[in-house]
Structure 1
Amino acid sequence: MIDPALTSDPGRPVWARNGMVASGQPLATAAGLEVLARGGNAVDAALAMAAVTSVTMPEMCGLGGDAFALVYDARTRTVTAFNGSGPAPMAATVERYRAAGHTEMPFEGWWSVAVPGAVGVYLEMHARFGSKPLEELWAPAIRYAREGFPIDARLAANIAAGAAKLAQDPAAAAVFLAAGPQPKPGTVLKNPDLARSFERVLADGAEGFYKGELARAIGDASRAAGGLLTAEDMAAFEVEVYRPLVTTYRGYRVFETAPPSQGLILLEMLNLLEGFDLAGQSPTDPDVVHLLVEIKKLAFADRNAYLGDPRFVQAPVERLLSKEYAARRRRDIDPERANNAPAGGELDGDTTSFVAVDAEGNAVSFIHSISALWGAGVMVPGTGFLMNNRAGRGFVLSEEHPNGLAPGKRTMHTLNTYLVTRIPAGDGEPGTAGGPGSGETDGGGTGDAANPARDDGELVLVGNTPGGDGQPQWNLQVLVNVLDFGMNAYRAVAAPRWTSFPGTDPINLKAPLELRLESRFPAETAAELLRRGHVLRGVGPWAAGGSAMLIRVLEDGVYEGAADPRDGGVALGL
């Protein structure tokens, strides 16, 4: 019998043969599809969507934010990762924050800002894999910024929610509150300063953004407001290009972004889950929900206990991702009782994301963000883009903690993105090598990230979701729905969703554990989870959060894609 909770939405996946894109914003999806129709590749489409979302989803991403991406090259069957995580300013010391009266990292303002790394990722991806001129790819975004676009209900609601924050910064208020603190959907939003910033990046490249006019403008605005970020901090930034983290799961390879991204959490959860048989069950069964939630708690506890910027912390990545560690860690799971005080094992928001595949089978999984909704709430005058609050949201104000603040250090990120391939026949189990600090970082065009001899297998899935600490949890649920329960792309992203809170954000870590269940879960499931000791909080039928994007590669070169119905996204194909 099919669980009615899994069939309560009339949506369906989209199928195509000549390429597909999916994003959380229709104008971005349309821009990506147009690039594919003109013969561009998946990276071209992703870069077009990155620019359009920077304009049409300004509360979530943009030139002042950060980015991570995975690129699958169909010709060489290799996967390359990009890290655009910016460090804290060199003046950002624990002592300095404490002297200023802070007992916790400030969540808003210039003292919460890290170096923005997204632009570096955009340009590095284009240099390595792009096939169309960047001027052509960014033309739709520049047009929307200069001529305006009608805001949707999501952006209208987010402007209302962030009005007080935006009102504190004159430059931000002039752009986003021009129509008042509660604009109606359909109101046209123009941001000509942002159009000029994109054009400046096109003219001057990464050198110009990080060492030229825009870098100086960012440094000047920070100094004028008493901030710590300087033009020298901007000039020191470099994108990391590397071999991503990888693990195996039931005949597949799953790739993830490495620390300071917390993609490792998803891979550790899959390693733990691999020791359990889910045959004959469904994602709404209480046994399944309980097991996945308990696995989440263990992996998140390990992340909180051990992980930080690999340049500062000797994080035990390979041990955390080993199958042996997973086997030991499974002993900490009680099948009948919730663990509401998880601890690290013994060792030997807000964002947008999108996916793209092209007719040749190349694929991109991309995620970028200014961290919290409306970032730090500060805009550099004349640029049209908001600065991130990644340092304020991510760091712990401690010199001893693995994720403690330090000058030039990158905070651990909620941002992560995944890609799945099929293990080639006769191939052995891959290791977990890769990632910054493994000796495989490729900042100059050589090394494993550029090795065409490596065969990572045929592409099976490319996906991701925004949503802070919900990302690894929701990505896990989508992957299990496809790989274990055989769902199509739409059912996988639309199935009833749960969220275990808190996750890793320092601001929330002291909150008691609770399990948020969408109301589409059967009442019997909720009752059984309560009996096992979970603290439940019911949310609306589609209110658990996230905006999952997924593209599956089927037989005969057919792509099947879907965008999460929770967030008004769109998947389109050719």
Structure 2
Amino acid sequence: MRNFHLPGRSTVHAQNAMVATSHPLAALTAIEVMKSGGTAADAAVAACALLGVIEPQSTGIGGDCFALIQPRGEGKIVSYNGSGRAPKAATAEWYIEHKMLAIPTTGAHSVTVPGAIDAWETILRDHGKLGLAILLQPAIRAAEEGYIVAPRIAFDWNNALEKLRGGTNTPRYLLPHGNAPVAGDVIKQPELGQTLRTIAKQGRDGFYKGAVAEDIVETLRGLGGLHTLEDFAAHTTETTTPIGTLYKGHDVWQCPPNGPGITMLVMLNILSNFDLTKYPPVSIERFHLEAEAARIAYLMREQDIGDPAYVDVDVKRILSKEFAEGYAKKIRMDRLLELPKVSPPINPSTVYITVIDRDRNVCSFINSIAHSFGSAVVSNKSGVLLQNRGAGFRVQPGHPNCIQPGKRPLHTIIPSLTTINGRANMSFGVMGGQYQPVGQTRLLTNMLDYGLDVQEAMDQPRGLHYEGVYQLEDGVPKDIVEGLKKIGHQTTGIVAPLGGAQAIWIDWDKGTLTGGSEPRKDGCALGY
């Protein structure tokens, strides 16, 4: 139980429905949608569309979307893969010939076809009641009438100032008066509002065909991009079956590759070979074990995972007990495993939304433009900030994640949910680029191993072992930092905090919902 003498947040409780997002207005919008008869899917799309306006560094209609949905919290879970594809002309040979041995993180070549809008329409077709014409209205109002910049968003905006100054159309659209806005400033984006109106009227075709698509393609081709109108018109969302593992009596579910959720499942499988409760939740041993599990899982991901439409991903072997045990036996508490250094191509941003409605429809939903402010390319007339998810590809023929025509890059965004005997008991996610598998693992083990509630599990200090260095938040005690150094970890502090979690826990016996929201963000959990 929380110590009320100390700063922190209480969990949020409700009987009917609940949402947790990274911005209060998005949470309020989702509640209003559900109170007006909308489903969890309706609420998630409305909240996400709004976040694409008011949290532009993280998400938007120029990005991608993944979701896990379980109708009425029981039975079949459906996975939606709304990730975009490389242009049909994007061959590795083309990049090598043009002396581009890595996809840049800004500019036209970093842009894959945005998958979000088609995913939203697909999800609403299967699980919604209200449709885009209604659900996009809050986002349209925010873009046209203006919205107030929140503190964390202002922080991120300022951190990306030089990127935006050097971008395409970004100074005009995203730097009012030539500088990043500060908390409390009011921003309007009328061109984006008009584009949202077009999508509200025409649905996905209003984005992937017609004037908006023409404007985006013209912008990208003007910068040397390989995109065509056919690339946009041909985009589709994939509906699949989730993959999972068992941890502490809970089935943990993720979207399959090209999503990276398998990374988190491997981490759980490795950690299941250890009794974490032997160590305090904030301890040298716990941080070390988490880092070693992450290093192993990330190495697997970089070596084995790509778009399964192009490469054979042996999910069964990777998630086997033997795979995890083989590595777990090699972990030592007094030193680091000798493993090849892994350098993932990108470490992006995102937003995660969890919604559960009064019928207990569960929606675990994530939407992203990859790096903060994506590619730093805004379309000329339609005001669409485009993702840089293409920078996640390798230019390395034979690599499972090598760029190919129409291929989807290895992603970073992962919605998750857990079930017991087939019934949902938590919908959760942790946004934050490469931190996401580690963040989800930490949140879940905080709860299932250490008995913390959904909010306490988010409040704990965090670390990410990334590119050979253990990045540690300010909240990690100095004695733990020194202890990690003594066993061989190279450590560093970080500017921005790690991750952004949202979670809702279902208590079926009491008929209640318990929510928590990331204290490192601006948002909240709300219920009624």
Q: Do they fold alike, i.e. is TM over 0.5? A: yes
What is the correspondence of 1:120-199 to structure 2 with a 5 Å cutoff? 120-169=118-167, 171-199=169-197
Report the counterpart of residue 14 of structure 1 in structure 2. Answer: 12
1:374–1:523 CA distance, 2 compared to 1 (3 A):
closer
Residue 336 of structure 1, CA deviation: 2.3
Of 433, 443, 467, the match for 1:478: 443
CA distance in 1, matches of 2:319, 2:458: 26
Report the counterpart of residue 40 of structure 1 in structure 2. Answer: 38
Report the counterpart of residue 518 of structure 1 in structure 2. Answer: 473
CA distance in 1, matches of 2:350, 2:75: 29
1:462 and 2:427 matched: yes
Residue 339 of structure 1, CA deviation: 2.3
Check whether the contact 2:74–2:423 (CA below 8 A) recurs between aligned residues: no
Report the counterpart of residue 375 of structure 2 in structure 1. Answer: 376
CA distance in 1, matches of 2:2, 2:51: 36
Q: Which amino acid aligns with 2:415?
A: T
CA distance in 1, matches of 2:374, 2:219: 16
Which consecutive aligned stretches of 4+ in structure 1 deviate over 6 angstroms post-superposition? none
Q: Which amino acid aligns with 2:129?
A: S
CA distance in 2, matches of 1:201, 1:538: 43
1:8–1:474 CA distance, 2 compared to 1 (3 A):
farther
What is the correspondence of 1:430-469 to structure 2 with a 5 Å cutoff? 457-469=422-434
TM-score (norm 2): 0.94
Residue 342 of structure 1, CA deviation: 4.4
Report the counterpart of residue 429 of structure 1 in structure 2. Answer: none
Report the counterpart of residue 533 of structure 1 in structure 2. Answer: 488
Report SS of the residue matched to 2:356.
strand
CA distance in 1, matches of 2:114, 2:122: 14
1:364 and 2:319 matched: no
Of 505, 510, 520, the match for 1:552: 505
CA distance in 2, matches of 1:492, 1:159: 27
Residue 411 of structure 1, CA deviation: 0.8
Q: Which amino acid aligns with 1:273?
A: L
Check whether the contact 1:81–1:243 (CA below 8 A) recurs between aligned residues: yes
Residue 120 of structure 1, CA deviation: 0.9
What is the correspondence of 1:128-277 to structure 2 with a 5 Å cutoff? 128-169=126-167, 171-277=169-275
- Out of 351-360 and 89-98, give the one that drifted further: 89-98
1:295-354 Cα deviation digits (max 9, x unpaired): 11111110011111111111111110112222222223123211253479xxxx111111
1:7–1:69 CA distance, 2 compared to 1 (3 A):
farther
Report SS of the residue matched to 1:89.
coil
1:343–1:111 CA distance, 2 compared to 1 (3 A):
closer
1:390 and 2:389 matched: yes
Check whether the contact 1:86–1:114 (CA below 8 A) recurs between aligned residues: yes
Of 452, 462, 482, the match for 1:487: 452
CA distance in 2, matches of 1:265, 1:409: 20
Check whether the contact 2:133–2:201 (CA below 8 A) recurs between aligned residues: no
Report the counterpart of residue 350 of structure 2 in structure 1. Answer: 351
Of 104, 119, 140, the match for 1:106: 104
Q: Give the % identical residues.
A: 35
Residue 169 of structure 1, CA deviation: 4.5
Check whether the contact 1:222–1:230 (CA below 8 A) recurs between aligned residues: no
Residue 562 of structure 1, CA deviation: 1.0
Residue 565 of structure 1, CA deviation: 0.6
1:8–1:534 CA distance, 2 compared to 1 (3 A):
farther
CA distance in 1, matches of 2:204, 2:156: 31
Residue 74 of structure 1, CA deviation: 1.2
CA distance in 2, matches of 1:343, 1:517: 19
1:277–1:155 CA distance, 2 compared to 1 (3 A):
closer
Residue 131 of structure 1, CA deviation: 1.7
1:562 and 2:528 matched: no
1:169–1:343 CA distance, 2 compared to 1 (3 A):
closer
What is the correspondence of 1:413-432 to structure 2 with a 5 Å cutoff? 413-422=411-420, 424=421
CA distance in 1, matches of 2:73, 2:184: 43
Report SS of the residue matched to 1:386.
coil
Report SS of the residue matched to 2:328.
helix
Report SS of the residue matched to 1:364.
strand
CA distance in 2, matches of 1:7, 1:230: 59
Report SS of the residue matched to 1:292.
helix
CA distance in 1, matches of 2:402, 2:5: 45
1:443-491 Cα deviation digits (max 9, x unpaired): xxxxxxxxxxxxxx22111111211100000110000011111111110
Q: Which amino acid aligns with 1:497?
A: R
Check whether the contact 1:159–1:176 (CA below 8 A) recurs between aligned residues: no
Report the counterpart of residue 506 of structure 1 in structure 2. Answer: none
CA distance in 2, matches of 1:322, 1:291: 20
CA distance in 2, matches of 1:177, 1:228: 28
CA distance in 2, matches of 1:175, 1:321: 45
Check whether the contact 1:253–1:421 (CA below 8 A) recurs between aligned residues: yes
CA distance in 1, matches of 2:371, 2:479: 35
Check whether the contact 2:243–2:262 (CA below 8 A) recurs between aligned residues: yes
Check whether the contact 1:266–1:476 (CA below 8 A) recurs between aligned residues: yes
Residue 64 of structure 1, CA deviation: 1.0
- Out of 45-54 and 168-177, give the one that drifted further: 168-177
Check whether the contact 1:144–1:190 (CA below 8 A) recurs between aligned residues: yes
1:151-188 Cα deviation digits (max 9, x unpaired): 12233333333333333456332221123313232211
Check whether the contact 2:258–2:408 (CA below 8 A) recurs between aligned residues: yes
Q: Which amino acid aligns with 2:368?
A: S
Check whether the contact 2:150–2:522 (CA below 8 A) recurs between aligned residues: no
Check whether the contact 2:73–2:424 (CA below 8 A) recurs between aligned residues: no
Report the counterpart of residue 445 of structure 1 in structure 2. Answer: none
CA distance in 2, matches of 1:492, 1:529: 22
Check whether the contact 1:175–1:190 (CA below 8 A) recurs between aligned residues: no
CA distance in 1, matches of 2:241, 2:5: 39
CA distance in 2, matches of 1:237, 1:365: 23
Check whether the contact 2:267–2:441 (CA below 8 A) recurs between aligned residues: yes
- Out of 170-179 and 239-248, give the one that drifted further: 170-179
Report the counterpart of residue 497 of structure 1 in structure 2. Answer: 462
CA distance in 2, matches of 1:90, 1:133: 31
Report the counterpart of residue 27 of structure 1 in structure 2. Answer: 25
Check whether the contact 2:17–2:357 (CA below 8 A) recurs between aligned residues: yes
The count of aligned residue pairs is: 522
1:537–1:160 CA distance, 2 compared to 1 (3 A):
closer
Structure 1 runs not aligned, ≥5 long? 425-456, 503-512
Of 85, 88, 102, the match for 1:87: 85
Structure 2 runs not aligned, ≥5 long? 343-347
1:377-415 Cα deviation digits (max 9, x unpaired): 1111221211111112x0111112111111111110111
Q: Which amino acid aligns with 1:283?
A: P
Check whether the contact 1:467–1:546 (CA below 8 A) recurs between aligned residues: yes
Residue 76 of structure 1, CA deviation: 4.8
